[in-house]
Amino acid sequence: MSAPHPIELLRFNTCGSVDDGKSTLIGRLLYDSKNLMEDQLEALERSADITGGGQINLANLTDGLRAEREQGITIDVAYRYFATPRRKFIVADTPGHVQYTRNMVTGASTANLSIVLVDARQGVIEQSRRHTYIASLLRIPHLVIAVNKMDLVDWSKERFLEIRDNFESFLPRLDMKDVKFIPMSALNGDNVVDASKHTPWYVGPTLLGHLEDVHIASDWNLQGFRFPVQWVNRPNNPRDPKLHDFRGLSGQIAGGTVKVGQKVMVLPSGLKSTVKEIWTYGGPLQEAFCPQSVTLVLEHDLDISRGDMVVGLDSMPGANTELHARIAWMHPRPLQRGKKYFLKHTTQTVQAVVTSLENRIDIHTYEPQPEPAELTMNDIGEIRLKVSKPLVFDGYATNRLTGSFILIEQGTNATVGAGMLNPPLEPVKPEYNDFAI
């Protein structure tokens, strides 16, 4: 074996409504790219008699729970892994029924790319608009509209173009920069891994070809250093004097890059210091970048704890107790004004109260409906919150990691909402401006 060459990882999710063929598509990707094993095929054949009437059902590859196979539906987000010589892939199969928003937000929040499946016979339906909206809301960098079941519309170019035009009538409102339309039949494998002989009029890549080629190098935020302190690393080791005084800040870089010698500020205190060392298990680094996990040692011994954020001086985040955000609601108990929740943002959890419900997005028209009484499960809307201590944050559009939060219901501890912060009205103005000590 030769030394391993660097391989990129692409994360994507598939969404569509019931019976659009999501699970079949993933099964087809695995099958045609030779990522299925003999015992998996055997298990498929065994289960074929239960649900498939004797025919192998590729959907059974992802529908792993017994109830799912019995009912022929997908219950929860399922993750699949496959590789080609060019890339490794993590697939989140996000089911489109009752908890569709919750599932899609879960599966798509970490994705580089979303695949929205459309049944060529039905064209654009409410679910297609919803999934496309959520992809844009979560700012998934790349979108694929997979026009599936083309075999059932006789591989009609006109039908494909009609569906594409239909999407393009509302896509400009969604600020999606990279959208690709691919005609396919997941069931028969056309344009999934192998190019279809039925679509001579289509000159683009197959789905897998696109997944291997799409440019993802710039999907992480490399502007504006952000380092939420996750765990204060104090060995306190009396046996080793060097370690006795070691005080490191462990965490994952949530934005930008950091260098030894760089001046940084700790928020919300506003104290400044200089990066003395970037400590890692494998040895010190001169420079580190998002999303690396490192341990920073600063020149000054400041009072810093979990939940604080170390930032670069060139671009300041916001810091406020009043927040304005878009939220996807995921729980049967609705979001109500005045109710208290826990809010977890980067590495800190604070108390939050919803001070106003500004609007609810109508998924048919994408128009905001002002002042709804509540947000119910699967709703998306804009809210204002007040939190118990200032949050150091960026707008979600600038930084997915420092611009996002979850809401947790007090008492049950259920995760009930996913929030995306609007940009701060002004950058933080810390009280202290001098170097510490």
Footprint of other proteins on residues 130-159 (CB under 8 A)?
A: none
CA–CA separation, 42 and 62 (whole Å):
15
Stretch that binds other proteins, among 114-122, 206-214, 345-353, 360-368 (CB under 8 A): 345-353
Alpha-carbon separation of residue 57 from 29, 207, 252, 308 (angstroms): 14, 20, 41, 50
Alpha-carbon separation of residue 332 from 16, 96, 98, 406 (angstroms): 22, 16, 11, 16
Q: Within 399-418, which residues bind other proteins (CB under 8 A)? A: 400-401, 404-406, 408, 413-415, 418
Is residue 294 a contact partner of residue 431, using CB atoms and an 8 Å limit? Answer: no
Q: Within 28-47, which residues bind other proteins (CB under 8 A)? A: 37-40, 43, 46-47
Q: Within 4-33, which residues bind other proteins (CB under 8 A)? A: 4, 6-9
Q: Within 57-76, which residues bind other proteins (CB under 8 A)? A: 61-67, 69, 75-76
Cβ-based nearer residue to other proteins, 272 or 400: 400
- Buried b or exposed e, range 225-263, using 16+ CB within 10 angstroms: bbbbbbeebeeeeeeeeeeeebebbbbbbbbbbbebebe
Record the tokens describing residue 111, joined without a space: 């994705």
- Residue 310 interacts with other proteins (CB under 8 A): yes or no: no
Least Cβ distance, residue 28 to other proteins (angstroms): 17
- Residue 425 interacts with other proteins (CB under 8 A): yes or no: no
Cβ-based nearer residue to other proteins, 244 or 389: 244
Phi, psi angles (nearest 5°) of residue 346: 45, -115
User: How do strand 415-421 and strand 404-409 relate by DSSP bridges?
Assistant: antiparallel
Least Cβ distance, residue 290 to other proteins (angstroms): 8
Least Cβ distance, residue 394 to other proteins (angstroms): 13
Is residue 403 a contact partner of residue 256, using CB atoms and an 8 Å limit? Answer: no
Helix (H, G, I), strand (E, B) or coil at 433: coil
- Residue 345 interacts with other proteins (CB under 8 A): yes or no: yes
- Residue 377 interacts with other proteins (CB under 8 A): yes or no: no
Among 33, 57, 109, 273, binds other proteins (CB under 8 A): 109
- Residue 224 interacts with other proteins (CB under 8 A): yes or no: no
Cβ-based nearer residue to other proteins, 287 or 362: 287
Q: How many residues bind other proteins (CB under 8 A)?
A: 80
